[in-house]
Amino acid sequence: MSDSLTKLQSKKSVGATAVRRKSGPPRVKITGDGVVRFCVGLPAGKGAAPDFTPANLIEMIHLGLPMQELKDLQARLAVPMAQLVPLLGISKATLHRRKAGGRLGPAESDRVVRFARLMGKAVEVLESEENARQWLTSPQFGLGGAVPLDYAGTEIGAREVEDLLGRIEYGVYS
């Protein structure tokens, strides 16, 4: 009888552990759906959806975004996929593997979010998606004649593009 009581107590303690874990703050199901739409559609810091907190975005990136997010980015930028994937550091073979698996890797997801945020900032500053597309795909004097999407292939380049958009926004275009 003591053996069955010990088993019963251990089952209760396991259940209690699970209850304690569940008693924390309510968690949002992390899927990664709509990240590009969120980054492009809403100005930074205004009306941010609760599902897309920085902590949730980081978790989504670590899990890998669905392939649909890459397709959404491609549609928003209106750039052929063959031109976009090298900018994101994705080879053709890797692209085919990701399509088969249905998810991007963490590094690729991070770059998709980086480009989506740049598109969103450009839309905010230039006031339309069409103006943003034109600007992001044309050489810019403020980047030494470089095309912003090409320049944004690295984090430092992306920050330079953001800085240039900030200067344009505040009338300090150089």
Condensed to tens digits (0 to 9), the pLDDT of residues 44-90 reads 444 445 577 888 888 989 999 999 999 999 999 999 999 999 989 89
Among candidate residues 29, 52, 31, 55, the one with its CA nearest the CA of residue 42: 52
Q: Which amino acid is present at 75? A: A
Whether residue 6 is predicted with pLDDT greater than 50 in this model: the reply is no
Which stretch of DSSP H or E encloses residue 130?
helix 129-136
DSSP 73: H
Helix (H, G, I), strand (E, B) or coil at 125: helix
Q: Is the dihedral of CA 91, 34, 125, 75 positive or negative?
A: positive
Question: What pTM was estimated for this model as a whole?
Answer: 0.75
The confidence score (pLDDT) of residue 18 equals: 26
How far is the C-alpha of 115 from the C-alpha of 137, rounded, in Å? 12
Q: Is the dihedral of CA 29, 34, 39, 43 positive or negative?
A: negative
- For residues 96 and 67, is the Cβ–Cβ distance under 8 A? no
User: If pLDDT is split at 50, 70 and 90, which confidence band does 103 have?
Assistant: very high
The confidence score (pLDDT) of residue 49 equals: 58
DSSP 46: S
Average pLDDT over residues 151-162: 92
User: If pLDDT is split at 50, 70 and 90, which confidence band does 97 have?
Assistant: very high
pLDDT of 129-155, one tens digit each?
999 999 999 999 989 999 999 999 889
| Full 3-state SS string of 3-41 | HHHHHHHHHHHHHHHHHHHHCCCCCCCCCCCCHHHHHHH
